[in-house]
Amino acid sequence: MFAETRGLMEITDFLRTNGNFTLAQYGLPAVNQDLVDFYELPLVNHEEDVLADFVSDEDNIDVPDDRNDFINMFYVDAPGGTGKTFLFNTLLKTLRIRRFDTVAVAWTGIAASLLLAGKTAHKAFRLPLKIT
């Protein structure tokens, strides 16, 4: 049952990323949110703890607990292999579980494919692409 729900979640993310389509438009059942919460919350809570420890130890940054404490954007610059993808994916999971709207955007397709439901900037913001 969880495998089916997980598959529907992945399909939902794909459809939302590629045109704001829904499962219902394709005759698929809705995602069972109770199952998602039951299985995903312990995992996300663990990842949040790891992330909070990582951020607090490294940069002495507070991880906000309240929706009102969140900023709209932030910039991360660090060398390769320092956990940027882990940081972003954990933040994305945490915010999505808490019902925040998120958009993961990267400049390249390779970088976007590493992010949960990631899009390139050209696709997300409909930027013109001039190939010369």
pLDDT of residue 126: 85
For 70: left if phi > 0, alpha if psi spans -120 to 50, otherwise beta; the answer is: beta
Distance CA 43, CA 85 (A): 17
pLDDT of residue 60: 46
Q: pLDDT 10s digit of each residue in the chain, 132 long?
A: 667 777 887 788 778 777 778 888 989 888 877 666 665 656 656 666 666 665 555 454 555 555 555 556 667 788 888 888 888 888 888 777 777 788 889 989 899 989 988 888 888 888 887 777
Domain ranges in the chain are 1-31
Structure-token pair, residue 18: 């590629």
